[in-house]
Amino acid sequence: MTDTPPVPPTPETPATPAAAAPAGAPAAGPKQTLSIVGFVLGIASIVLSGVSLLGLAAGIAGIIVSRRAKKNEPAAPSWMHTLGLVLSIIGLVLSVIFGILFIFATLLPLIIGASYGVTY
């Protein structure tokens, strides 16, 4: 036998630090919340352009949010806020056109009827 005393066991240290993220967690990317909101509002302004006031409101909000995203989020993808701005402008123009057509279609029968002497 040997004359050396037994070595006490050492506590095991964890392989990864406690503050580290799990292996499956995605890495934090650039902040792009405003760009996403501007993009979604641009799409909504086109979809809702048939309902004049909703499309108009979504288009104005999309323009404001997309411009703010361009200033405040330089690390976000530039296509997102640019496309949000373009889609918001297109939706705004379509809303105005559909609003004018709605007013014209509503008033046209009244104008034609009045020219024939019809009273309502």
pLDDT beyond 60 at 41: yes
26 found inside a domain: no
Average pLDDT, the chain: 85
Pick the closest to residue 39 from 73, 2, 1 (CA basis): 73
44 found inside a domain: yes
pLDDT beyond 60 at 15: no
The residue-averaged pLDDT of 16-28 equals 60
Separation between Cα atoms, residue 88 and residue 76, nearest integer Å: 19
pLDDT in tens, 81-95: 999 999 999 999 999
Share of the chain above pLDDT 70, in %: 82
Q: Which tokens sit at 73?
A: 């989020």
23 found inside a domain: no
Q: Which tokens sit at 79?
A: 């296509």
56 found inside a domain: yes
The answer, as to whether pTM is greater than 0.95, is: no
84 found inside a domain: yes
1 found inside a domain: no
Per the structure, how many domains does the chain have? 1
Q: With contact defined as beta carbons under 8 Å apart, do 87 and 62 qualify? A: yes
> Domain of 42?
33-113
Separation between Cα atoms, residue 69 and residue 39, nearest integer Å: 10
4 found inside a domain: no
